[in-house]
Amino acid sequence: MKKKKIFIKTWGCQMNTYDSSIIANILQKNNYKISSKEKNADIFVLNTCSIRNKAQEKLFHQLGRWKKIKEKNKNIIIAVGGCVAVQEGKKIFDRAPYINIIFGTQNVHQLPILIEKYIKNKLSILEINNLKTEKFNFYDNKKIFKTKEIVSIMEGCNKFCSFCIVPYTRGREISRNYKSIISEIMILAQNGVKEITLLGQNVNAYNFLKKNGKKVYFSKLLRYISEISQIKRIKFITSHPCEFTEDIIEVYRDIPKIVSFLHLPVQSGSNKILQLMKRRYNVNQYKEIISKLIKYRNNIQISSDFIIGFPGETKEDFQKTMKLISEINFDMSFSFLYSPRPGTPASKMKDNVSLEEKKERLYILQEKINEQTLSWSKKMLYTKQMVLVDGPSKKNIMQLSGKTENNRTVHFKGSKKHIGKIVPIKIIETSRYNLQGKLI
């Protein structure tokens, strides 16, 4: 029988990308074919995100397009998953009755069964159950390995920041068995992977309860992973300041493989706003974490997420955020206007700052961060950097390119033998994100 073709579209964070890769893996195992084009696909899968505004509109806009394709071919199956699917559930059927399957963030690995069931019964399916860590068992079907890979270690969130939808769509924090994490990384290491990024909504909340009643915490997991000799660089996203404990900071003292670049979202520099956001730390506590890290790594670079225009954010609050940005000298940021999320406490808070004013604040913030990014890059001029070589440079096919520890792309003249390796490069030219270098 001809293999059915699946087209997968993914929005949102790396967790969704990861989930989509599980979907692709498991469907391929079950005799489906992944198609990179909509054309001629038999099954359409949409993996949605609801972190900021217009998530619903975006979803129905996309589904409207697929509806037209389905009108020409009634046999097409449409499945919607991800965070909007969990949030909206069966309401999606009401607005888009032509879709066939709705599945939750914890149900991705069940998709082949759900598709089979739909083909058999022709009845629409809603499957949004929390199956805990079951899906983590479906990673291991990789055929092609890159030099860097992402490994999921935990999922979900218990923090309930007042603005955020994630705890409602991803469920409570749940840690994957450390043995399964280690064995996945061992396989990656044996296949040439040099860098891994540990993934989770709050990676530093990782804690796995062993049979003997003892727990493996995040710092311990980092130490275990660092013992795998082929893995040369360890990164992680995202960690939360409220659990960035002493034992994690000490890992920076002991393990050079942990990169000197940390994404630690602060969201705001005003204690009043942090409290309204329910972030569980204040500005001083955040600064303390960073100074402790600097003690062990004087060159560490910090990046952050910021929310601008949170309800009640005054000019003074915004100035406090700007002050913190200078003090920490953040290297990069993901910064967005606050977007009320249905059902969250913040969506009921009074907000009297105009959109225009908010946009201006965001602009000022982003300009400032851009300046800092450039100045961090300039500091790299004439230094030696270890670069993980990806392959031919997209800017100039006569050159190779790769990444430094702090995520800068470096272009340089090299040869095939350097691809997939970490090589020492002297930086000879800099711009904000791109550097030109020379092999040492």
Q: Which residues bind ligand F3S (CB under 6 A)?
A: 12-13, 15-16, 49-51, 82-83, 165-166, 169-170
Residues 6+ apart with CB under 8 A from 82: 10, 11, 12, 16, 19, 46, 47, 48, 49, 50, 105, 169
Record the tokens describing residue 365, joined without a space.
Answer: 């913030």
Backbone angles phi, psi at 211, to 5 degrees: -60, -30
CB of 44: closest distance to ligand F3S in angstroms? 18
Contact between 159 and ligand SF4 (CB under 6 A)? yes
Find the helix packing angle between 178-190 and 218-226, rounded to 10°. Answer: 30
Record the tokens describing residue 101, joined without a space.
Answer: 């399957």
Nearer to ligand F3S, 51 or 228 (CB): 51
Q: How many CA atoms lie within 13 A of 20 on its CB side?
A: 24
Site string for ligand SF4, 191-210 (x = CB under 6 A): ----------xx--------
Cis peptide before 238 (omega within 30 of 0): yes
Nearer to ligand SF4, 265 or 414 (CB): 265
Q: Of these partners, ligand SF4, ligand SAH, ligand F3S, none, which one is at the site of residue 175 (CB under 5 to 8 Å by kind)?
A: none
For residues 17, 23, 24, 26, the Cα torsion angle rounded to the nearest 10 degrees is: 140
Question: Based on C-alpha coordinates, what's the Rg of the chain?
Answer: 23
Stretch that binds ligand SF4, among 158-166, 210-218, 247-255, 358-366 (CB under 6 A): 158-166
Stretch that binds ligand SF4, among 120-128, 142-150, 161-169, 225-233 (CB under 6 A): 161-169
Nearer to ligand SF4, 157 or 387 (CB): 157
3-state secondary structure of 159: coil
Q: Rounded to whole angstroms, how far apart are CA atoms 264 and 257?
A: 18
Nearer to ligand F3S, 171 or 420 (CB): 171
- Taking CB atoms, the residue at the shortest distance from ligand F3S is 12
- Contact 379/435 with Cβ under 8 angstroms? no
Record the tokens describing residue 47, joined without a space.
Answer: 């993996």
CB of 245: closest distance to ligand F3S in angstroms? 24
Nearer to ligand SAH, 239 or 404 (CB): 239
- Contact 96/61 with Cβ under 8 angstroms? no
Residues binding ligand SAH (CB under 6 A) = 51-52, 163-164, 166, 201-202, 238, 240, 265, 267, 305, 307, 336, 338-339, 341
Q: Of these partners, ligand SF4, ligand F3S, ligand SAH, none, which one is at the site of residue 156 (CB under 5 to 8 Å by kind)?
A: none
Q: Of these partners, ligand SF4, ligand SAH, ligand F3S, none, which one is at the site of residue 109 (CB under 5 to 8 Å by kind)?
A: none
First to last CA, the chain: 55
Interface of this chain with ligand SF4, residues 372 to 411, rule: CB under 6 A: none
Q: Of these partners, ligand SF4, ligand SAH, ligand F3S, none, which one is at the site of residue 338 (CB under 5 to 8 Å by kind)?
A: ligand SAH
Q: Of these partners, ligand F3S, ligand SAH, ligand SF4, none, which one is at the site of residue 167 (CB under 5 to 8 Å by kind)?
A: ligand SF4
Q: Rounded to whole angstroms, how far apart are CA atoms 307 and 309?
A: 7
Bridge partners, residue 261, by sequence: 301
Residues that bind ligand SF4 (CB under 6 A): 157, 159-161, 164, 166-167, 201-202, 240
